[in-house]
């Protein structure tokens, strides 16, 4: 069996919910506030209505199942696209989280054999985020929460203001999925100053690394030792710089609050193999181990690198842990 835990979804009900923030699919790309997601791809729509229709056509159950069949995927775990996290949108950020969770839950309920979801929560408002996570998990069936890696409107993962969120997640025994998001949306009308889409293409990996570093250094895993986190894109840069982080946490970070060596917290983290060469994937396997790896590919996104568990020298039992066994255990997907 193959479970892909990294796939995003827009429904019609998740679009055009706010006169400014949207989010909206337009000819120039996904638009949130002043920001539009740039692309070098040829324009495929004559107007905004056609652009939205094209997007939603790719999001139907039938279209998703067809692509899943082509790629051998049996089950997808869906999440709100990261550009629409709305941490900067004041009260609408809370409203949009509830909208997303209702929409994701309804979508998955139509075909639970093939779809589950990560809920969304507005971490810029930790108390409300904690309440919404509890609602989404206990009433709507969410398997965990998907969050951006850094800068929840000024809050970072080390901030004790976020402890109510970590407390709810630990109490419910559901994991965090960390996916960086485009920080240039914060720039408003100056978002074009983010040259080359850097805050998304490079910044996602920076965000994900910061979450790993800040969650440990801020002492959250000492206060909530059962808290579990899955970091996309092979952990950003955390795995590749793990030795540096571990050594300098002791030698050069006097304000850190972690009570144990940094490497002792690795069992709290899961990663995927969403890097672009087998050599790098083998390195992640060697450092992390097969028991802490998930199958996540940004399914249906901007690229497709095939099965990331191939050509790594893994036996079938090891591959199956990554392809489904670890996700079943972490997300409690045993019913599938």
Most confident of 15-29, 172-186, 297-311: 15-29
Distance CA(95)–CA(122), nearest Å, equals 9
Q: What is the mean pLDDT of residues 273-287?
A: 95
Is the residue at 32 inside a domain?
Answer: no
Q: Is the pLDDT of residue 336 over 60?
A: no
CATH classification of the domain holding 213: 3.20.20.140
Output the pLDDT for position 96: 98
Is the residue at 34 inside a domain?
Answer: no
Is the residue at 35 inside a domain?
Answer: no
Output the pLDDT for position 39: 65
Is the residue at 60 inside a domain?
Answer: no
Q: What is the mean pLDDT of residues 217-239?
A: 97
Could you tell me the pLDDT band of residue 42, with boundaries at 50, 70 and 90?
Answer: low
Could you tell me the pLDDT band of residue 329, with boundaries at 50, 70 and 90?
Answer: very high
Report the b/e string of 44-76 with b at 16+ CB within 10 A. Answer: ebeeeeebbeebbeebeeeebbebbeeeebebb
Quote the domain boundaries for residue 262: 3-7+80-331
The 8-class DSSP code of residue 116 comes to E
Is the residue at 15 inside a domain?
Answer: no
Is the residue at 166 inside a domain?
Answer: yes
How many structural domains is the chain composed of?
1
Is the residue at 309 inside a domain?
Answer: yes
Q: Which phi and psi (to 5°) does residue 10 adopt?
A: -115, 135
Answer whether 119's CB lies under 8 Å from 133's CB: yes
Is the residue at 195 inside a domain?
Answer: yes
Q: What is the mean pLDDT of residues 177-194?
A: 82
Spatial CB neighbours of 18, under 8 Å, sequence gap ≥ 6: 89, 92, 96
């Amino acid at each position: 069996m193959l479970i892909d835990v990294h796939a995003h979804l827009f429904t019609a009900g998740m679009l055009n919910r706010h006169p400014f923030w949207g989010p909206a699919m337009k000819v120039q790309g996904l638009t949130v506030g002043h920001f539009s997601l740039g692309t070098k791809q040829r324009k495929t729509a004559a107007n905004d209505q056609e652009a939205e229709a094209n997007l939603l056509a790719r999001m139907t159950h039938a279209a998703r199942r067809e692509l899943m069949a082509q790629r051998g995927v049996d089950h997808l775990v869906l999440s709100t696209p990261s550009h629409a996290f709305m941490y900067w949108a004041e009260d609408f950020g809370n409203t949009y989280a509830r909208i997303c969770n209702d929409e994701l839950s309804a979508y998955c309920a139509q075909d639970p054999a093939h779809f589950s979801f990560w809920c969304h929560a507005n971490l810029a408002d930790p108390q409300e985020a904690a309440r919404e996570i509890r609602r989404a998990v206990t009433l709507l069936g969410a398997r965990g929460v998907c969050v951006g890696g850094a800068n929840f409107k000024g809050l970072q993962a080390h901030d004790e203001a976020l402890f109510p969120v970590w407390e709810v997640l630990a109490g419910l025994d559901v994991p965090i999925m960390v996916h960086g998001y485009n920080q240039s949306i914060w720039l408003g009308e100056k978002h074009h100053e983010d040259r080359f889409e850097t805050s998304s293409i490079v910044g996602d990996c920076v965000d994900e690394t910061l979450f790993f570093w800040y969650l440990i250094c801020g002492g959250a895993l000492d206060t909530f030792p059962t808290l579990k986190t899955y970091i996309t894109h092979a952990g950003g840069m955390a795995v590749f710089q793990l030795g540096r982080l571990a050594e300098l946490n002791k030698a050069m970070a006097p304000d850190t609050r972690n009570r144990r060596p940094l490497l002792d917290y690795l069992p709290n983290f899961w990663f995927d193999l969403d890097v672009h060469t087998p050599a790098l994937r083998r390195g992640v396997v060697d450092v992390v181990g097969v028991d802490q790896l998930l199958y996540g590919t940004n399914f249906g996104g901007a690229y497709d690198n095939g099965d990331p568990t191939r050509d790594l020298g893994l036996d079938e039992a090891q591959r199956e842990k990554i392809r489904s066994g670890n996700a079943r255990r972490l997300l409690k997907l045993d019913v599938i």
